[in-house]
Amino acid sequence: MRTILRVNMSDLSIKKEPLPEKWANYGGRALTDALVFTEVPADADPLGPDNKLVIAPGLLGGTTAPNGGRLSVGAKSPLTGGIKESNSGGQVAHALGKIGIAAIVVEGKPADPAARYVLEIDPAGEAKLSRHDELAGLGNYATVDALKKDWADSGRYSTMTNGPAGEMLLSGAGIAVSDPHGYPNRFAGRGGLGAVMGSKNLKAVVIDDAGLSSIEHADKDAFNAAVKKFAAALREHPVSGTGLPTYGTNVLANIINEAGGYPTRNFSSGQFEGVDGISGETMREITLERGGNVKHGCHTGCVIQCSRYYVHEDGSYWTKGPEYESAWSLGADCGISDMDVVAALDRECGDLGIDTIEMGATLAVYMESGKLAFGDGEGALHVLEEIREGTDLGKIIGSGAEATGKAFGVTRIPVVKHQAMPAYDPRPIQGIGVTYATSTQGADHTAGYSITANVLAVGGTVDPLKSEGQAALSQGLQIATGMLDSLGLCIFVAFPVLDIPAAFDAIGEMVTAHTGQTWGADELMKLGRETLTYERLFNAHAGFTAADDRLPAYMYTEKLPPHNVVFTVTDEELDAVFDFVAETAAEMGIS
């Protein structure tokens, strides 16, 4: 039986309870959403005792489902003011799944603000809180090193840690999750959930799953057959089977730059003349020359293998191979074309525990203010040091792009629902603009990745420069993504799923064989719709309106080179993206 582990930081009590039957088919994002919607007041202070931090593996967590080990972390966001699900790789989801924990719910707030606690969970699912004030202020890497002293004898454990940014309650803070080698370099980065963790004085979570094997299935043989079918599709597709394994996520740099949608110098151009210096191809060359790791999974069971380690000249580990989003945000958006500088910034963000997308966009806004020159990598590192030192400037920068823009008089701030836009400009890639505008999560490419049809010709084609078909494309992708996030599947499985019918069939077959219930296309898409319905209703209760489902005004008027286009999808089309919510809510019995 899957259980919910409730951790009350007000009285330091812990209790387990069975997962309610009504949520038996939920995992990951669906479950974090259901818990936040049901238990967190929409008007709660995101950093107060009424907010709850929910950590949940997907429904396939703890199994051998290919790429099925993604983790969802949910709460009311201190950055957006709405509901938030932040998704991460790493080992935690599989560990929790094997133990049988459907969700950890961290609630309340300790009386002593100086206290730092570590939540420890053993293979039997027993948990305890221990006080470790000596960890206060440590970066994520030092925190993990300190934890190793107590866990050195464990055969296998994984961690979630909170860096200084989260302890300072900065709204750009994320939560670090350990990868298969124990490095805290996978992140539930977006939405400021590190600040929520910091508000609970929870410095780390350590999960010991030593000796546990993959969880059982209703039909083991059918599950294994579906796994083979799904894995074959992942290897067959040119994106998931060749492009991503060879060059990592940063394979997209040259592709998006060529398409004219690579945001450069605070979204003032769609192409970066220095893109080659920070591309996936260049990163691979440098890494190979230095003897680094050029292909591995961010969690066990990954077939795609798009992660890598970026190393120093002597071959020693430096940081995760900066993902496409990080290389762009800390590179092109800031006018920086040196991969080593990007890696240094990435490492510092990772140690501080701050979202690289939000931070890169923030630095670019700061550069536009004239306080720092575009291309000044050394200056950017000094700004990050201000965050670590807790200076007034550091607190502003650590609070994100919008806060920084307002503080320094910048009017061109690329945010939606207060969250910075990722690495695709919505003017020449209109479908992603629909996703940015309407997503419940704030500007978020993963919420509905229209790059598939807009740029890569995956799942069909929709002209990226025209408004026609973009709203429908985003709607379908947002529903499908809600489903994938709830199952714990990596978003990159979408490439074969959209092109190879057997891949989509295999998902339903895996879930059916695992749960013993029938999961066809209708059931899978229903899961996605229900997930999004929780989110839309929560945000409505929190005061969000149609006016929040819009891009910044300048994107409707300021033409972006080289295509010299503006965003043209109409408000009516944007407002229709979630036209299914009222009916779905009625079916669910929620309002």
User: Which residue, chain included where needed, has tokens 């220095």?
Assistant: 274
* Segment (H or E) for 309: strand 309-311
pLDDT score at 507: 98
Q: Which residues contact 472 (CB under 8 A, 6 or more apart)?
A: none
The number of angstroms, rounded, from the C-alpha of 40 to the middle of its chain's C-alpha atoms is 21
Q: Which of 301, 293, 377 is nearest to 89 (CA)?
A: 301
pLDDT score at 269: 98
* Separation of alpha carbons 188 and 530, rounded Å: 22
The number of angstroms, rounded, from the C-alpha of 132 to the middle of its chain's C-alpha atoms is 28
CA atoms within 13 A on the CB side of 7: 29
The 10 Å CB-count burial string (b at 16+, else e) for 535-557 is bbbbbeebebeeebbbbbeebee
* DSSP classification of residue 239: I
pLDDT score at 292: 85
Q: Are strands 3-8 and 101-107 parallel, antiparallel or unpaired?
A: parallel
Check if the beta carbon of residue 178 is closer than 8 Å to that of residue 184.
Answer: yes
3-state secondary structure 96-149: HHHHCEEEEEEECCCCCCCCCEEEEECCCCCEEEEECHHHCCCCHHHHHHHHHH
User: Which residue, chain included where needed, has tokens 């670590």?
Assistant: 388
Question: Is the entire prediction scored with pTM above 0.95?
Answer: yes
Would you put residue 169 in left (φ > 0), alpha (ψ -120 to 50) or beta? left
Q: Are strands 202-208 and 117-121 parallel, antiparallel or unpaired?
A: parallel
* DSSP classification of residue 296: B
525: buried, middle or exposed (CB in 10 Å: 19+, 13-18, 0-12)?
Answer: middle
* DSSP classification of residue 555: G
Q: Residue ranges of the chain with pLDDT lower than 50?
A: none
For 425-474, the DSSP string reads: -TTTSHHHHHHHHH-TTSS-GGGS-THHHHTS--SS---TTS-TTHHHHH
Structure tokens at 471: 């709203």
Check if the beta carbon of residue 464 is closer than 8 Å to that of residue 428.
Answer: yes
Structure tokens at 446: 């993963």
* DSSP classification of residue 243: I
Tell me the torsion sign for CA atoms 558, 559, 562, 568.
positive
The number of angstroms, rounded, from the C-alpha of 165 to the middle of its chain's C-alpha atoms is 17
Beta bridge partners of 56: 72
pLDDT score at 308: 93
pLDDT score at 45: 98
* Separation of alpha carbons 533 and 556, rounded Å: 28
* Separation of alpha carbons 377 and 346, rounded Å: 12
Structure tokens at 30: 């669906």
153: buried, middle or exposed (CB in 10 Å: 19+, 13-18, 0-12)?
Answer: exposed
pLDDT score at 151: 81
* Separation of alpha carbons 216 and 405, rounded Å: 51
Would you put residue 245 in left (φ > 0), alpha (ψ -120 to 50) or beta? alpha
Bond into 20 cis (ω within 30) = no
Tell me the torsion sign for CA atoms 19, 22, 24, 25.
negative
Name the amino acid, one letter, at 323. E
Domains of the chain: 3-208 (3.60.9.10), 246-424 (1.10.569.10), 426-499+520-591 (1.10.599.10)
Check if the beta carbon of residue 479 is closer than 8 Å to that of residue 435.
Answer: no
Q: Which residues contact 139 (CB under 8 A, 6 or more apart)?
A: 163, 164, 351, 352, 353, 388
The 10 Å CB-count burial string (b at 16+, else e) for 397-422 is bbbbbbbbbebeebebbbbbbbbbbb
Name the amino acid, one letter, at 109. K
Q: Which of 498, 577, 534, 579 is nearest to 28 (CA)?
A: 534
pLDDT score at 154: 77
Tell me the torsion sign for CA atoms 54, 59, 62, 64.
negative
Structure tokens at 137: 């202020």
Check if the beta carbon of residue 573 is closer than 8 Å to that of residue 471.
Answer: yes
Structure tokens at 509: 């077959």
Check if the beta carbon of residue 132 is closer than 8 Å to that of residue 118.
Answer: yes
pLDDT score at 153: 76
